[in-house]
Amino acid sequence: MVVVRMWRRLFGGSARELDASRDDLVVVASSFDDVEACSTALDRASALDREADAVLRHHLRLPAERIEAACEIAGYDGYERGASTVGSDDLVPVILQRVQRLDPLTCSQERSRMAGLAQRHDGVADGWDALQPPRGAP
């Protein structure tokens, strides 16, 4: 993640990256419907600031013994494991998240990538959401 931050600073990215661990982040866009296009979900997201970075979170359910391998693979693309809840079946809820600027194309690509990752690890991709600070927050 440090390399990603340095790269963004050197080559035009955000000078100050959004901190994914901030307490004041709120959900500004989401889709948990497999047939809904990311462009539709983003168009519906009136609270989303399209000019600012967001924390894109993918909600997966994976077998416990496959979580570490899936997280390692996602880590190559800058994803980190976020807070998860306790599952009620054989699959454990896992959140993979990273900071990025959201647009329909990249959101769709990442959604597809996470669906493939979950499937390769005998799991399910339930959907995604995006968080940003409330408007006007520093």
Burial label, 98 (beta-carbon count in 10 A; 0-12, 13-18, 19+): buried
% of the chain at pLDDT higher than 90: 75
* pLDDT at residue 90, as a whole number: 86
For 33, phi and psi rounded to 5 degrees? -115, 120
* pLDDT at residue 16, as a whole number: 56
Instruction: Tell me the average pLDDT of the chain.
Output: 87
- Is the predicted pLDDT of residue 44 greater than 80, yes or no? yes
CATH class for domain 2-132? alpha beta
* pLDDT at residue 89, as a whole number: 72
* pLDDT at residue 15, as a whole number: 45
Highest mean pLDDT among 6-10, 18-22, 59-63: 59-63
Residue pair 41/29 in contact by the 8 Å Cβ criterion: yes
For the residues 5-10, what does the mean pLDDT come to? 48
Q: Where are the domains of the chain?
A: 2-132
Q: How confident is the model at residue 135 (pLDDT cuts 50, 70, 90)?
A: confident
Burial label, 124 (beta-carbon count in 10 A; 0-12, 13-18, 19+): middle
